[in-house]
Structure 1
Amino acid sequence: MGKTTGFMDYQREESKERNPRVRINDWKEYDAPFSDDVLSRQGARCMDCGTPFCQMGDEINGATTGCPIYNLIPEWNDLAYRGQWKEALKRLLKTNNFPEFTGRVCPAPCEGSCTVAISDPAVAIKSIERAIIDKGFENGWMTPRIPQKRTGQSVAIIGSGPAGLASADQLNQAGHTVTVYERADRAGGLLMYGIPNMKLEKDVVERRIRLLEQEGIDFVLNTEIGKDLSSEELKNQHDAVIFCTGAQKQRDLVIEGRGAKGIHFAMDYLTASTKKIVGTDLKKNEFIDAKGKDVIVIGGGDTGADCIATALRHDCNSVVQFGKHPQLPLARTKGNMWPEYPNVFTVDYAHKEATAKFGEDPRNYSIQTKRFISDDNGDLKELHTVEMEKVRDEDGKFVFYEIPGTEKVWPAQLVFIAIGFEGSEPELLQQAGVKTTNGTVEAKYGEFATNIEKVFAAGDARRGQSLIVWAINEGREVAYKVDHYLTGSTVLPSYLEV
């Protein structure tokens, strides 16, 4: 521990975001990196706890607590404080295949369980993580690691999101021949087309894909398994198959007027927008333009916030976000004690931008949409809502009741539905004969084997909609099991074996 009183000597400093009024005019990342001096001070705040809860990686009351990939956070915080960046990179890469992704888009549950956060703002773990990997690329330390020998066995991975990429990386380093199949024209899954450019610039994703290719991984793009190539053909061509297809079946809002033109799923909007930015050919009417329109986003999560930020950059006329739940408290409640993830009110990048442009936070809480209304041409013109009260019933469960007299009409020409996902798209899983429960593949965590011989599953396809760090966790763990399945032993590390 380099600075024994660092947590007392220094305050947390937030990353220097670009001016919201300026950044909504471009698609560059909104977050500006820390200087080395600031990084050193922030690293010095780490207490080097006897029990570092930041890296515990667990779930408490349904929320992730600590780091699911068990990053060696106190170690590389200390190295960052000392300016030993290359050593910090080595420690970071021991547990995390893609810190350039987690350092940008992970919600940082590690910071919520930081010991400093019991009474003060947490150590700026996420910013330090991003700085370490960015310095690794900038200084030429991130070079291809070519396996010295091959096992002669091959693995097919369906899906190139973080779980697929992590399993591919691990299995390639174990010496297997790895082929990743992706139905889109670019690899990366939701990293490429689901997360907007202002949170994760696409050259960061493509830089990693190029490195994986140089290390020997083959990416087969524009190929949808189940259509262009059957799952049975894939099994015949490879010694093992891993489903990392994600949880991309979007939850719909089936209410009166749903068929009006102008109502879209959030991911369709975000995907088409990114395709236009990176120059991908769009299908007819695929691009959704919010310019000059009144936009409403239904759903209070991160995907909804991304829709807000995207609509602002399209120069929408107005934007509002509906949330089902009440506004979160400003501080932890007695039922949300450390080290749980802090369920407290925050202002996301998109909300800052909307406030800067329109003068108020776009979020409206405890709102339920009742119906959509279209004009004579079938185009959406408005929607109707009612306010809701959230209370506990006699069994202790939360229920929602409509509040009479709170009905309201909202003008809207575009609505984006961002109320979550219901699991994997079922067609491929049904064709392959893979058993599912509630839309996710039946494969026990720690084993990852499906009911089909030599077929495995990991990531959101197995666990449902989750965080990027859980996807990396599962990608690494399924690689561990597949390597053992193919060779009878394994040289790969496992979080479960620590």
Structure 2
Amino acid sequence: MATEKMLKFVTVPRLMPEKRDADARTQDFDEIYREFAANKAAEQASRCSQCGVPYCQAHCPLSNNIPDWLRLTAEGRLQEAYEISQATNTFPEICGRICPQDRLCEGNCVIEQSGHGTVTIGSVEKYITDTAWENGWVKAHLPEIERSESVGIIGAGPAGLAAADVLRRAGVQVTVYDRYDRAGGLMTYGIPGFKLEKDVVMRRINQLEQAGVQFVLNCNVGDDISFDALRGKHDAVLIATGVYKTRDLAGDNADAAGIVRALDYLTASNRKNFGDDVAEYDNGTLNAEGKRVVVIGGGDTAMDCVRTAIRQGATSVKCLYRRDKANMPGSQRETKNAEEEGVEFVWLAAPAGFTADAGTVTGVNVQRMRLGAPDASGRRSPELIEGADYIEDADLVVKALGFEPEDLPKLWGVDGLEVTRWGTVRAQFGTGQTNLDGVFAAGDIVRGASLVVWGIRDGRDCATAILDYLGQAASVAAE
């Protein structure tokens, strides 16, 4: 019976895919986890308790039908497992690689709460979809009927691409505009290859192209084409730009050479791994080789930076974070990987300025902190310890303090587009409709810097709302 293949969490221990040795993996930018073998994937999937109220699904932003595709994997029905997995997720193999499962599905697994160790949901999800690609089960979704309406999408990141997929399957003509020379947004240029190899992203973009999505790259809205022109060209426009403005640091010598933005640093590294000519990498500006590196921040972007610096051959890599390890916002799994690879974490430490010689950074003036009362987020606020400052020597300082939205109305010369006090585009919850007729917004530009999986969710929801809008407009035109 099929049920005999499940409920094995008592007798089968939790097992992650084998992780490459730290010394070996720091020599390249390849992914660090090896693939599950078929028998191991089925074995780990069989640990699912098939609970009546699946908290894993409830805590997945996409409401992925996790118990069903775990059961099908345990039964060896991998193609069916993939079909269920991709029904709610545009990029399941990407989410399987980069989602913080420890904070989402796996962190809320019932058997984890009972002390048996969570099901390795992300690794099985990755295995299912990689197997689907290998066996040719992943196809371009050509619509059965072509529609005349067109939608312009600004931004080729997770939200924009997820929306493009849903709209194109419905037969809508879709054009995606992006400022970069490759689509994918942060999946392409912001996330290092050791977490997400770039051919994984590129094959999904190729799939969208084969389905009829048009890409206009190296296109800056406001310069190469106006926002009003896009509105005139398309029946609806989706703003899915993400947030790229880096939060800055003040203090002495904050503009010294050698103090760089995280996104610039990661983009240069990813471009180099694509084989591009990158002048700022080659001249050492955005290259950690032979340098003492200090990364400021405690989120996943900071983890990406410290682990990139290790691979580039830095002589030392330190991460400064103003709270302690238990209160950092980044994934504990990524922190552990960084520690294994030789990164030193300096907890309860914040920058107060920088030292410089002839305009080039030589160190970070570090203030020691302690944790006080909780703030509005519920985390304990860092407080300064007087007289405990010291200098942390550094040749390269990377600012990984998070991202904020650009001033789109000013950047694009758009009158009337409403934004919030945080600078994000004001849009209706669930639909993404802005105050401008036929203009929608989704992803980080609405919710602020967040996870790829939330971008996918927002893009898919917004695409559904756009289809409703187009249908209503067609009805009015027919009357």
TM-score range, shorter chain: over 0.9
Residues 236 and 351 (structure 1 numbering): CA distance in 2 closer, same or farther, change over 3 Å?
Answer: same
Corresponding residue for residue 204 of structure 1: 200
What amino acid is aligned across from residue 310 of structure 2 in structure 1?
L
Output the CA distance in 2 between the equivalents of 1:26 and 1:4: 38
C-alpha displacement of 1:210: 0.7
Q: Is the 8 A contact 1:99 1:129 kept in 2?
A: yes
Q: Is the 8 A contact 1:157 1:242 kept in 2?
A: yes
Corresponding residue for residue 400 of structure 1: 382
Residues 471 and 345 (structure 1 numbering): CA distance in 2 closer, same or farther, change over 3 Å?
Answer: closer
The answer on 1:327 being equivalent to 2:325 is yes
C-alpha displacement of 1:393: 6.9
Corresponding residue for residue 295 of structure 1: 293
Corresponding residue for residue 379 of structure 1: 360
Q: CA RMSD in A?
A: 2.2
The answer on 1:476 being equivalent to 2:460 is yes
C-alpha displacement of 1:5: 3.6
Q: Equivalent of 1:462, from 436, 446, 449?
A: 446
What amino acid is aligned across from residue 136 of structure 1 in structure 2?
A
TM-score after normalising by structure 2? 0.92
Q: How does 1:305-320 map to 2 (within 5 A)?
A: 305-320=303-318
Deviation string for 1:268-294 (max 9, x for gaps)? 100011111112343566961111110
Output the CA distance in 2 between the equivalents of 1:11 and 1:256: 53
Q: Is the 8 A contact 1:248 1:425 kept in 2?
A: no
Q: Secondary structure at the match of 1:260?
A: coil
Deviation string for 1:180-226 (max 9, x for gaps)? 00110001010100001111111111111111100110011111111
Output the CA distance in 1 between the equivalents of 2:37 and 2:305: 30
Q: Is the 8 A contact 1:328 1:343 kept in 2?
A: no
Q: Is the 8 A contact 2:41 2:74 kept in 1?
A: yes
Runs of at least 5 residues in structure 2 that lack an aligned partner in the other structure: 475-479
Corresponding residue for residue 71 of structure 1: 64
Q: Secondary structure at the match of 2:246?
A: coil
Q: Equivalent of 2:423, from 432, 439, 445?
A: 439
C-alpha displacement of 1:488: 2.8
Corresponding residue for residue 113 of structure 1: 108
Output the CA distance in 1 between the equivalents of 2:278 and 2:298: 28
Q: Is the 8 A contact 1:2 1:82 kept in 2?
A: no
More displaced, 176-185 or 442-451? 442-451
Runs of at least 5 residues in structure 1 that lack an aligned partner in the other structure: 57-65, 331-340, 355-360, 491-498
* Identity across the alignment (%): 41
Residues 251 and 147 (structure 1 numbering): CA distance in 2 closer, same or farther, change over 3 Å?
Answer: same
Output the CA distance in 1 between the equivalents of 2:28 and 2:354: 32
Output the CA distance in 2 between the equivalents of 1:275 and 1:342: 24
The answer on 1:369 being equivalent to 2:351 is yes
Q: Secondary structure at the match of 2:301?
A: helix
C-alpha displacement of 1:422: 1.9
The answer on 1:410 being equivalent to 2:410 is no
Residues 213 and 401 (structure 1 numbering): CA distance in 2 closer, same or farther, change over 3 Å?
Answer: same
Output the CA distance in 2 between the equivalents of 1:422 and 1:466: 11
Q: Is the 8 A contact 1:483 1:489 kept in 2?
A: no
Residues 342 and 454 (structure 1 numbering): CA distance in 2 closer, same or farther, change over 3 Å?
Answer: closer
Q: Equivalent of 1:91, from 73, 84, 95?
A: 84
Q: Secondary structure at the match of 1:348?
A: helix
TM-score after normalising by structure 1? 0.89
The answer on 1:257 being equivalent to 2:257 is no
C-alpha displacement of 1:20: 1.1
Q: Is the 8 A contact 2:6 2:74 kept in 1?
A: no
Corresponding residue for residue 74 of structure 2: 81
What amino acid is aligned across from residue 445 of structure 2 in structure 1?
A
Q: Secondary structure at the match of 1:100?
A: helix
Output the CA distance in 2 between the equivalents of 1:432 and 1:218: 28
